[in-house]
């Protein structure tokens, strides 16, 4: 089987030739370790533009965002091929650079109202969420008009070019999924408003929150359709619905306020024959039925350090969801020994693999993950993941 | 404005009504500010109970915290003016350097306020020296740190070492929280205690303060 066949078979809840291997991303510092540093870093570009255009650098850099993002994800896919992953994700984030007086940080804003600081990860852009700005009804009205109008048209064109560039060299060597990582519906809504205002609206005006989710869902679905026009078949919705000890909201509120929005996206993808999974780290176990009911084909992360028990999840939803994840990124993929990494992968395959519908995957990703440990994860998957499993 | 109503406003997360209610209790009804604080604390205790019973979740905790903050805008000056000689336990709360997450920290801050602690909130992305300087300045005996990024948990050790170098570590209890952490890692980094979330955190801090 090739990578595409392997992943699609797992997503169809069947046994491929072996358990596939995936990560949601490889951070740019690690891409540099795998491929070698590029001649010009992201921050070299920033410095150059600021020198050449001190008064209009933010606008000029914003015009370059498409190129930067395509380059970043293209290199990420190159690195994924190099180390032997079966699947990697790409996805543009709708950002633009901003200048704020007396604030020397390199700042970007996104169309959902979030402010980010672009930190320097060994020369590479690394965005950190700072705060949300969409905290009045008037601001929402403006944002809604923009997203339902010119922004959808703009980004539908943008993502076609972005996707073509991101997968150009490697589309036959790896299966490339599309994600709205950092731009998922729930995180865009809650972070865009700031958690305080979002929480207040959930309590006082839930219809408003439902509307926001559905507007963002339609935007996402429209972009996913553009990606599908370019051949994309597999999507990963960025959820981040839970934290260390449980879901951010009650399952009942997720059903009421977010399920219709997710269904809008999953139906659109399924209508065109695609597959879509939900990424959400944290303790997601109370939301497993929600994930199924939203129409997702799978669930990614399965974060062990948040107490997610793969055996419990497999038993509860393993016949309805493809399970992807369970390799920890706080120790196993950071500073564990080879033996520990191998043990973690063996456990994951033994527990999640029987009957198919399982993909070994890092629960999340960050710049501190060790490339060597990542390679061990892939090696162990290939060594122990052949079907029929032998445990 | 009776005390039961104040308690209910906290439990029901009435963030837009609490400030006026506290004002009415203090100015119109002449209630003792410490009795008002007790009523609000009772409300927060119930919020914590509902969170543990999985009736309330993070969004309710955030809103409860905000409701307490609104109450304290009016209540704090009245408490200070009442000038009782009760020395409050001072707690410094902060998110470590490099980290901009503050939800858990803010909820903890509100729970600490409602429990009668004096809270010194240093905000987010706080370096170790700032924390050391604030301990020296305020005499805080508890430092509560939040680190939600794997990349920033090492800052806890930096704070621990900085407090040691300043000769302050023996007089300060260090409690930490955040997704990448657990008790074992927290102790390895030099902390005295760890809490899974803010509701656990306030319980642990009350024990540390005794």
Sheet holding B193-195, edge to edge: B118-121, B90-95, B142-146, B173-177, B193-195
Give CA angle at A125 (A119, A129), nearest 5°.
Answer: 55
Identify whether A264 is part of a domain: yes
Contact A367 B62 (CB under 8 A): no
A73 CA: distance to closest CA in chain B (Å): 22
Contact B57 A244 (CB under 8 A): no
Identify whether A298 is part of a domain: yes
pLDDT on residue B180 = 87
**Average confidence (pLDDT) over A52-59:** 93
A7 CA: distance to closest CA in chain B (Å): 29
Is the pLDDT at B86 greater than 70? The verdict is no
Taking the C-alpha atoms of residue B76 and residue B60, their distance in angstroms, rounded to an integer, is 23
Identify whether A50 is part of a domain: no
Sheet holding A114-121, edge to edge: A95-98, A107-110, A114-121, A124-132
The secondary structure element, H or E, covering residue A44 is: helix A42-52
Identify whether A121 is part of a domain: no
Is the pLDDT at B179 greater than 90? The verdict is no
- Chain A environment of B13 (Cβ under 8 Å): 203
**CATH (domain of A372):** 3.20.20.210
Identify whether A227 is part of a domain: yes
B14 CA: distance to closest CA in chain A (Å): 9
The secondary structure element, H or E, covering residue A173 is: none
pLDDT on residue A146 = 96
CB-facing half-sphere around the CA of A391: CA atoms within 13 A? 17
In whole angstroms, how far apart are CA A312 and each of A308, A320, B193? 8, 14, 30
Q: Are strands A124-132 and A114-121 parallel, antiparallel or unpaired?
A: antiparallel
Range of the domain at A378: 3-30+85-92+135-384
Tens-place pLDDT, residues A156-195: 999 999 999 988 889 899 999 999 988 999 999 999 999 9
- Looking at the structure of chain A, the number of domains it has is 1
pLDDT on residue B105 = 92
Is the pLDDT at B87 greater than 80? The verdict is no
User: A interface mutation test: which of B150, B154, B181, B184 has the most A CBs within 10 A?
Assistant: B150
Residue A217 near residue A186, CB atoms below 8 Å: no
pLDDT on residue A336 = 97
Identify whether A99 is part of a domain: no
B83 CA: distance to closest CA in chain A (Å): 32
Tens-place pLDDT, residues A220-270: 999 999 999 999 999 999 998 998 889 999 999 999 999 999 999 999 999
Contact B62 A196 (CB under 8 A): yes
pLDDT on residue A34 = 97
User: DSSP letter at A305?
Assistant: G
pLDDT on residue B100 = 85
- Of A259, A257, A247, A290, nearest to B59 (Cα)? A247
Number of A to B CB contacts under 8 A, please give it: 65
ipTM of the predicted structure? Answer: 0.90
pTM here? 0.92
Contact B151 A195 (CB under 8 A): no
Identify whether A338 is part of a domain: yes
CB-facing half-sphere around the CA of B58: CA atoms within 13 A? 24
Tens-place pLDDT, residues B182-209: 999 999 999 999 999 999 999 999 999 9
Taking the C-alpha atoms of residue B16 and residue A187, their distance in angstroms, rounded to an integer, is 25
Instruction: Please indicate whether residue A40 or residue A311 has the higher confidence score (pLDDT).
Output: A311
Average pLDDT, chain A: 95
Average pLDDT, chain B: 93
List the alpha helices (DSSP H) in chain B. Answer: 3-11, 18-23, 33-52, 58-82, 103-114, 128-138, 154-165, 183-188, 198-209
Tens-place pLDDT, residues A72-123: 999 999 999 999 999 999 999 899 999 999 999 999 999 999 999 999 988 9
Is the pLDDT at B84 greater than 70? The verdict is no
In whole angstroms, how far apart are CA B202 and each of A300, A384, B173, B182? 33, 45, 13, 17
Q: Is B166 at the interface with chain A, CB within 8 A?
A: no
Contact A203 B13 (CB under 8 A): yes
The secondary structure element, H or E, covering residue B54 is: none
Percent of chain A residues topping a pLDDT of 90:
90
Instruction: Please indicate whether residue A391 or residue A248 has the higher confidence score (pLDDT).
Output: A248
Domains in chain B, CATH or no CATH each:
3-82 (1.10.1240.10), 90-209 (3.40.50.280)
Contact B179 A282 (CB under 8 A): yes
Residue B61, number of CB atoms within 10 A of its CB: 27
Chain B residue whose CA is closest to A243: B179
Identify whether A125 is part of a domain: no
């Amino acid at each position: 089987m090739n990578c595409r066949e392997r992943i699609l078979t797992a997503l169809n809840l069947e046994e491929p030739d072996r358990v596939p291997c995936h990560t949601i991303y490889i951070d740019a510092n690690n891409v540099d370790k795998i491929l070698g540093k590029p001649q010009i870093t992201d921050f070299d570009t920033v410095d150059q533009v600021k020198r050449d255009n001190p008064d209009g650098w933010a606008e000029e850099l914003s015009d370059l965002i498409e190129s930067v993002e395509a380059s970043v994800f293209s290199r990420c896919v190159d690195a994924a091929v190099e180390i032997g992953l079966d699947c990697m994700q790409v996805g543009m984030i709708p950002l633009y650079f901003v200048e704020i007086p007396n604030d020397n940080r390199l700042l970007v804003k996104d169309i959902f109202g979030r402010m980010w600081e672009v930190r320097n990860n060994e020369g590479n852009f690394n965005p950190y969420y700072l705060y949300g700005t969409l905290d009045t009804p008037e601001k929402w009205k403006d944002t809604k008009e923009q997203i339902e109008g010119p922004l959808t048209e703009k980004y539908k064109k943008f993502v076609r070019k972005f996707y073509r560039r991101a997968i150009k060299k490697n589309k036959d060597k790896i299966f490339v999924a599309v994600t709205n990582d950092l731009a998922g519906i729930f995180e865009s809504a809650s972070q865009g408003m700031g958690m305080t205002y979002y929480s207040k609206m959930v309590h006082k005006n839930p219809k408003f929150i439902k509307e926001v989710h559905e507007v963002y869902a339609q935007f996402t679905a429209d972009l996913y359709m553009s990606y599908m026009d370019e051949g994309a078949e597999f999507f990963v919705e960025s959820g981040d619905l839970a934290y260390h000890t449980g879901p951010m909201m009650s399952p009942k509120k997720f059903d009421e306020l977010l399920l219709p929005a997710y269904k809008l996206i999953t139906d659109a993808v399924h209508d065109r024959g695609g597959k879509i999974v939900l990424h959400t780290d944290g303790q997601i176990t109370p939301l497993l039925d929600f994930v199924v009911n939203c129409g997702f084909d799978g669930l990614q992360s399965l974060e062990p350090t948040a107490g997610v028990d793969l055996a419990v999840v497999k038993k509860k939803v393993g016949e309805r969801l493809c399970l992807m994840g369970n390799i920890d990124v706080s120790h196993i993929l950071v500073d564990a020994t080879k033996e520990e990494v191998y043990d973690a992968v063996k456990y994951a395959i033994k527990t999640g693999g029987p009957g198919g519908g399982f993909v070994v995957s890092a629960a999340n990703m960050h710049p501190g993950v060790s490339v060597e440990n990542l390679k061990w994860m892939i090696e162990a998957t290939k060594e122990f993941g052949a079907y029929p499993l032998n445990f | 404005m009776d005390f039961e109503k104040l308690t209910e406003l906290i439990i029901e997360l009435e963030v837009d009504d609490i400030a006026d209610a506290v004002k009415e209790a203090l100015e119109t009804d002449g209630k003792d500010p410490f009795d008002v604080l007790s009523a609000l604390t009772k409300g927060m205790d119930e919020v914590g109970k509902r969170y543990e019973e999985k009736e309330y979740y993070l969004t309710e905790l955030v809103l409860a915290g905000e409701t307490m903050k609104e109450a304290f805008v009016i209540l704090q000056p009245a408490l200070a003016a009442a000038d009782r000689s009760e020395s409050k336990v001072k707690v410094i709360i902060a998110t470590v350097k490099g980290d901009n997450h503050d939800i858990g920290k803010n909820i903890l801050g509100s729970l600490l306020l409602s429990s009668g602690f004096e809270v010194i909130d240093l905000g987010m992305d706080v370096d170790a020296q700032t924390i050391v300087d604030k301990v020296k300045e305020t005499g805080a005996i508890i430092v509560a740190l939040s680190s939600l990024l794997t990349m920033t948990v090492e800052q806890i050790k930096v704070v621990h070492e900085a407090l040691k170098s300043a000769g302050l570590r023996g007089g300060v209890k260090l409690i930490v929280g955040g997704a990448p952490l657990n008790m074992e890692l927290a102790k390895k980094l030099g902390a005295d205690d760890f809490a899974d979330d803010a509701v656990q955190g306030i319980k642990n801090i009350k024990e540390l303060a005794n």
